[in-house]
């Protein structure tokens, strides 16, 4: 007899009048907002403009959704294209089925396009949003709870999840809540990246690589616990091999990047400090003060000789005296010539 367990919702859809609110899609949307919010704060702290993360997310999110769905459909094609299945279901993303590997891959392509349009280095952007992506995954995994999917082996632990649906080969019972394990693991990865980034000032994509490595480490053992249908290679699920390979690549990138480009980028967004923010306001204030003081100084300097000259008696008459002196020193030829001209 189970003393305690996590109950599953009776339905993954709530209706607001005629409008269906699907729990899976709702979790994905909340996750995106969390990622953009945290990414924006980190981007501004690194010297970027407010709103840049959201602008680039307009490219990254749709690409990520398409990539995640493609990976799921390709690796689990039997769910949509085998006998008795309807291939149209491959487009029903609200029913679940997003592969994180495809989502990150195509999402990175979309982010690269957005960054390129704004002259921003992709590694710097990836570092800023890395913890936010981990938190987005933590929230998104609760969509699997709404759909009663992606659970582990049977267990009678107090935190087991109760599966009540018998659709698609499910067996009602209590199972390991692998969605919960992965959600908590992603929160830990986000905190790890934030801490390591502050402690070691990770740059040039290393914070993002740390997120990837941390996630893959947890995904490996969580994936091993799952009992849903999947392809196997040498006794391991396909996603286990994917997690292992991506983990090694992420660690290799961290090592090589630290040797080739130590430290962090000095500038993450060209022109971010020009015309915006407190630094720009301070520059404008200094410039105004300098502009106002300079004419005053020049005026003072220029007026000083006039003031001194006006205090000397007879000084205003000097120009006339100079004129008489010039007449007195005029060459004889000029005088004679002038006289001849007059005589003629």
Q: For residue range 132-143, what is the model confidence (pLDDT) as tens digits?
A: 999 999 999 999
Query: 7: which DSSP letter?
Result: P
φ and ψ of 325, to 5 deg = -65, -40
For 15-19, 25-29, 71-75, 169-173, which range has the lowest pLDDT when averaged over its residues?
15-19
Q: Which two tokens stand for residue 275?
A: 């015309």
Q: What is the per-residue pLDDT across 247-280, written as a single tens digit (0 to 9) for each?
A: 999 999 999 999 999 999 999 998 876 644 433 4
The H or E element containing residue 13 is strand 13-16
Find where tokens 């209590």 sit: 174
Q: Are the CB atoms for 250 and 126 separated by under 8 Å?
A: no
Q: Are the CB atoms for 102 and 67 separated by under 8 Å?
A: yes
Detail the residues annotated as belonging to a binding site.
141
Q: Report the 3 state secondary structure along 294-343.
A: HHHHHHHHHHHHHHHHHCCCCHHHHHHHHHHHHHHCCCHHHHHHHHHHHH
Q: Which two tokens stand for residue 80?
A: 């949509």
Strand locations in 53-165 (E): 161-163
Total count of residues recorded for the chain? 344
> For the chain, what percent of residues have pLDDT higher than 90?
57
Alpha-carbon distance of 24 to 19, in angstroms, equals 15
The confidence band for 341, taking pLDDT boundaries of 50, 70 and 90, is: very low
Orientation angle between helical segments 52-75 and 100-118, nearest 10 degrees: 150
Q: Are the CB atoms for 151 and 176 separated by under 8 Å?
A: yes
The confidence band for 3, taking pLDDT boundaries of 50, 70 and 90, is: low
Alpha-carbon distance of 180 to 197, in angstroms, equals 26
The dihedral through the CA atoms of 83, 85, 88, 89 has a sign that is negative
The H or E element containing residue 173 is strand 173-175
Alpha-carbon distance of 257 to 262, in angstroms, equals 7
* Closest to 148 measured CA to CA, from 132, 167, 129, 135: 167
User: CA separation (Å) from 330 to 321, 336, 344?
Assistant: 14, 11, 21
DSSP for 78-127 reads HHHHSTT--GGGGG-GGGS---HHHHHHHHHHHHHHHHHHHT--HHHHHH
Average pLDDT, the chain: 82
The dihedral through the CA atoms of 168, 174, 180, 182 has a sign that is negative
Q: Which two tokens stand for residue 131?
A: 């913890």
Strand partners, 199: none
Q: pLDDT at position 158, please?
A: 92
Evaluate if residue 309 carries a pLDDT over 60.
no
Instruction: State mean pLDDT over 99-128.
Output: 95
DSSP helix/strand/coil, 185:
helix
For 117-121, 195-199, 228-232, 320-324, which range has the lowest pLDDT when averaged over its residues?
320-324
């Amino acid at each position: 007899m189970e003393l305690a367990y996590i109950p599953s919702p009776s339905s993954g859809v709530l209706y607001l009048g005629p409008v269906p609110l699907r729990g899976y899609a709702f979790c994905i949307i909340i996750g995106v907002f969390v990622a953009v919010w945290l990414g924006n704060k980190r981007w501004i702290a690194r010297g970027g403009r407010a709103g840049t993360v959201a602008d680039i997310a307009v490219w990254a999110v749709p690409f990520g959704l398409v990539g995640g769905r493609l990976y799921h459909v390709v690796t689990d094609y039997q769910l949509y294209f085998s006998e008795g299945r309807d291939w149209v279901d491959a487009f029903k993303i609200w029913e679940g089925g997003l592969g994180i590997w495809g989502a990150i891959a195509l999402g990175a392509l979309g982010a690269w396009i957005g960054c390129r349009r704004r002259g921003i280095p992709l590694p710097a952007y990836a570092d800023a949003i890395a913890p936010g992506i981990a938190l987005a995954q933590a929230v998104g995994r609760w969509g699997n709870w709404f759909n009663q999917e992606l659970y582990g082996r049977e267990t009678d632990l107090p935190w087991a999840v109760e599966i009540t649906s018998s659709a698609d080969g499910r067996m009602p019972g209590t199972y390991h809540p692998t969605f919960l394990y992965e959600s908590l693991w992603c929160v830990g990865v986000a905190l790890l990246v934030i801490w390591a980034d502050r402690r070691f000032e990770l740059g040039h994509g290393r914070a993002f690589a740390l997120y990837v490595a941390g996630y893959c480490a947890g995904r490996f053992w969580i994936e091993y616990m799952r009992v849903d249908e999947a392809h196997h290679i040498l006794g391991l699920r396909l996603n286990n091999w994917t997690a292992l390979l991506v983990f090694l690549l992420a660690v290799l990138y961290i090592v090589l990047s630290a040797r080739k480009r130590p430290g962090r980028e000095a500038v993450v967004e060209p022109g971010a400090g020009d015309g915006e923010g407190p630094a720009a306001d301070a520059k404008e204030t200094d410039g105004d003060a300098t502009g106002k003081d300079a004419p005053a100084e020049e005026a003072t300097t220029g007026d000083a000789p006039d003031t001194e000259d006006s205090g000397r008696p007879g000084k205003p008459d000097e120009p006339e005296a100079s004129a008489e002196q010039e007449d007195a020193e005029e060459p004889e030829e000029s005088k004679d010539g002038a006289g001849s001209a007059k005589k003629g």
